[in-house]
């Protein structure tokens, strides 16, 4: 794929942020594929936001936490 790293951050019940690091060749078409793939797994009232980052934050042991949530 044209995505190097990805992390999903749920800020609240209605907003999911997809943090991703792009590879060469990533374009608008690839972005639409990512959004479509995420939307297929979520209720219609959840907004999907794409955030482009240089790298995804890692834990102290160097692993990526793929899903983060601030929902209590």
- Domain span holding position 48: 3-69
Instruction: Note whether 53 and 20 are within 8 A (CB).
Output: yes
C-alpha 4/C-alpha 46 separation (Å) is: 25
Q: Identify the pLDDT of residue 9.
A: 96
Taking CA atoms, 10 is separated from 4, 14, 26, 29, 72, in Å, by 20, 8, 24, 24, 11
pTM equals 0.87
Asked if residues 35 and 17 have their Cβ atoms less than 8 Å apart, the reply is: no
Q: Number of folded domains in the chain? A: 1
Counting as low any pLDDT under 70, the low residues of the chain are none
Q: What is the pLDDT of residue 41?
A: 94
């Amino acid at each position: 794929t044209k995505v190097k790293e990805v992390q999903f951050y749920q800020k609240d019940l209605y907003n999911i942020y997809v943090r991703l690091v792009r590879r060469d060749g990533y374009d608008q078409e690839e972005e639409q594929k990512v959004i479509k793939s995420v939307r297929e797994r979520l209720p219609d009232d959840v907004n999907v936001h794409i955030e482009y980052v240089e790298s995804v934050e890692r834990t102290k042991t160097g692993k990526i936490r793929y899903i983060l949530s601030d929902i209590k």
